[in-house]
Structure 1
Amino acid sequence: MSAGRAEYRYYRAPGILERAARALLNNFVVEAVLVLLITLFYIGASGVDHVLGTRLRRTFVGMMHAVSRDRLNFIRKARMRHVFKKEYGMKKLKIKLAGGSYWLSIPCIVRGIDKKTHTEVKYLAKIMNERSAVKHRYMTLMRKMGVIAEGVDLRFDEYHCGREMGEYEKRCLERLRDASVNAPKVYGLHNLGADDYMLVMQFIEGTPLSKVTINDEIMDRLFIILRKMRENGIFHGDVKMDNFMLSGSAVYVFDCLKIDRSGAEEAAAFDLACLLCALADRAPAEAVLARARQYYSASDLERAAGMIDMALYKSDLELSEDRIKKLKQNITA
């Protein structure tokens, strides 16, 4: 079946409420007001956490993610089955959510039998659409407010649609592999009808680093990966433990986000600051920086220190004031 016929078969025109919601959320004034309100609440929750030792910020972020998270419904599963049967020669398909803290896309594990070899095969598939792009735009606007507040020279780019998100991630993963960085192979980007696009890639058996004990060996591998990315002009934009996976003795990279490459030094410093913060949440700051100094110069680390407050605007980073202080002090020591 041709791509055009597949689109025709599965196309569903958006309803009145869906069209109205899209128009509303894409309105500049509405965006500005919503981002301002969310940011004020976010900052207020952070202040309450700081004073009272609560976890209000994390609860608020979790609630926002839960409310806006897209769903893997019956129609999407039917469209996915069609693609995997026709394009990947599979039968006896089983599709389930990959789990984790997904929000900007719908990650799925697709398992089935290859019709030619009669062996079991697995793929990782991520669905992205206009809703994903809108959520990313709101997240980017909040980051831009953090840039203004912290006075750093850093620019985050936006996506116009789910197709652009899929194409960007496809290119990023291919560039990582070309730079000899472990990343899943990408097999294709498919339109599922309407504005749903599915990126199909290699399924990597492993464990996210968020669930792995962080030791010197793991830290070394992460710093090597980040340095190799920088040397090849690749910037991640969303460095966190959930976006790295340990498979055997190898660490794989996932989920790059758009970041303006015109400010290469700032982008590299931001990625390094995010990695330092993510590691300092799991290991003593002294140990983290001892490993970092094996791969980065004092000037690189000082530049990253200037990005730490900006990195902490990421909703998935929640360092205590004591850990933040120790991290900054040890960088400049």
Structure 2
Amino acid sequence: MVVRRLVRGNVSWDRLETVVRELAARYGRETAHVRFLEADNWLSTPFVLDDRYFVKVITRQNSLVHAVFTTGRNLGAVTAGTEGFFDHFDTPYEMAEHELAATERMREVGVNAPEPVEALEIDGLGVLVLDYLEGFAPLDEVPAERTTALAPRLFEELALLHEDGLAHGDLRAENVLVVDDDLYFIDATSVREEQAASYADARDSSRQYDLACALAALEPLVGAREAVAAAATAYPAADLLGAREYLGFVDVRPDHTFDATALRGEIDKRGDDGE
């Protein structure tokens, strides 16, 4: 697919070597072992350093893609009658720095996330370093029956995030990591908290957008009925109906493939039943 090839970030080998050499020197290593992770590189190129650090390398192209995605999210908010609530960051380093701060905040409110190490700029690239989670599996690589069992916990963690006024903003199955029976969030963003009168509306809209993304991530894995049932364990019908309005915007993103019609139908059932 042309769009997918366009938005994936590509980092040349010589620039990646520069990043690895710099990190090895910073962490007192004479040699370094690098293992690249298979992922859709929409917003970074991830790798593992010495089975100790999880590293994300962010390019200018990744920053431009982030700007496109942010515009789409904010357009959805404006269409729904709310001021846009997600920020774009002009440079790869700003993206890395912001994600580091968002990860720290998630951990502060009790949401599982890898321990943040640092964000830095190397050769014009943004570099985010987190502790590596040994034995993790992305949610979309977990057996279906286990995913079904974990689905309510996903929404419990998301609700905990939202209770503190935060939003993930890029919730996909590959951004939810399973370690034993725990879920960890990565690749997070946050709501602009400097908004005053419109902050409550922005917070509600960002929560509903996150819900739409979570439902879109789960539907291909467990089906629309199970996904909505899991969401209903942590969110009232009003929030689910709000999330319904954002499914169309999530559906146009190249990194989500799901049955929006089936999700809308299941949400409507919940609304009709007053659940």
The offset of 1:154, in angstroms, is: 5.3
**Structure with bigger gyration radius:** 1
Q: Which amino acid aligns with 2:131?
A: Q
Match among 188, 197, 213 for residue 126 of structure 2: 197
SS in 1 for 2:184: strand
The separation in 1 between residues aligned to 2:139 and 2:252, in whole angstroms, is 21
The separation in 1 between residues aligned to 2:72 and 2:108, in whole angstroms, is 32
The offset of 1:267, in angstroms, is: 0.4
Match among 176, 180, 185 for residue 244 of structure 1: 176
Is 2:113 the counterpart of 1:173? no
SS in 2 for 1:91: coil
Paired position in structure 1 for 2:206: 267
Is 2:240 the counterpart of 1:301? yes
The offset of 1:131, in angstroms, is: 3.2
SS in 1 for 2:52: strand
The separation in 1 between residues aligned to 2:204 and 2:261, in whole angstroms, is 28
1:302, 1:332 within 8 Å by CA — same for their partners in 2? yes
Match among 314, 322, 329 for residue 253 of structure 2: 314
Paired position in structure 2 for 1:76: 16
The separation in 1 between residues aligned to 2:61 and 2:191, in whole angstroms, is 20
The separation in 2 between residues aligned to 1:82 and 1:279, in whole angstroms, is 38
Q: How does 1:9-24 map to 2 (within 5 A)?
A: none
Is 2:4 the counterpart of 1:62? yes
The separation in 2 between residues aligned to 1:304 and 1:98, in whole angstroms, is 31
1:244, 1:251 within 8 Å by CA — same for their partners in 2? yes
Change in 2 beyond 3 A, CA 1:88/1:231 = same
The separation in 1 between residues aligned to 2:178 and 2:240, in whole angstroms, is 25
Is 2:19 the counterpart of 1:89? no
Q: What do the CA deviations read for 1:285-328 (whole angstroms, capped 9, x no partner)? A: 22222222221112222222222222223222222365244334
Q: What do the CA deviations read for 1:179-202 (whole angstroms, capped 9, x no partner)? A: 111101111122213x22311111
Paired position in structure 1 for 2:164: 232
The separation in 2 between residues aligned to 1:316 and 1:131, in whole angstroms, is 16
Paired position in structure 2 for 1:288: 227
Is 2:186 the counterpart of 1:254? yes
Paired position in structure 2 for 1:10: none
The separation in 2 between residues aligned to 1:241 and 1:321, in whole angstroms, is 16
Q: What do the CA deviations read for 1:165-221 (whole angstroms, capped 9, x no partner)? A: 01100000000111111101111122213x223111111121101111344421111
Paired position in structure 1 for 2:39: 100
The offset of 1:137, in angstroms, is: 1.6
Q: Which has the higher contact order (CA 8 A, sep 6+)?
A: 2
Q: Which amino acid aligns with 1:84?
A: A
Q: Which amino acid aligns with 1:274?
A: C
2:49, 2:55 within 8 Å by CA — same for their partners in 1? yes
1:305, 1:331 within 8 Å by CA — same for their partners in 2? no
The separation in 2 between residues aligned to 1:318 and 1:299, in whole angstroms, is 24
The offset of 1:142, in angstroms, is: 4.1
Q: How does 1:34-73 map to 2 (within 5 A)?
A: 59-66=1-8, 69-73=9-13
The separation in 2 between residues aligned to 1:210 and 1:259, in whole angstroms, is 26
**Seq. identity, %:** 23
The separation in 1 between residues aligned to 2:180 and 2:204, in whole angstroms, is 32
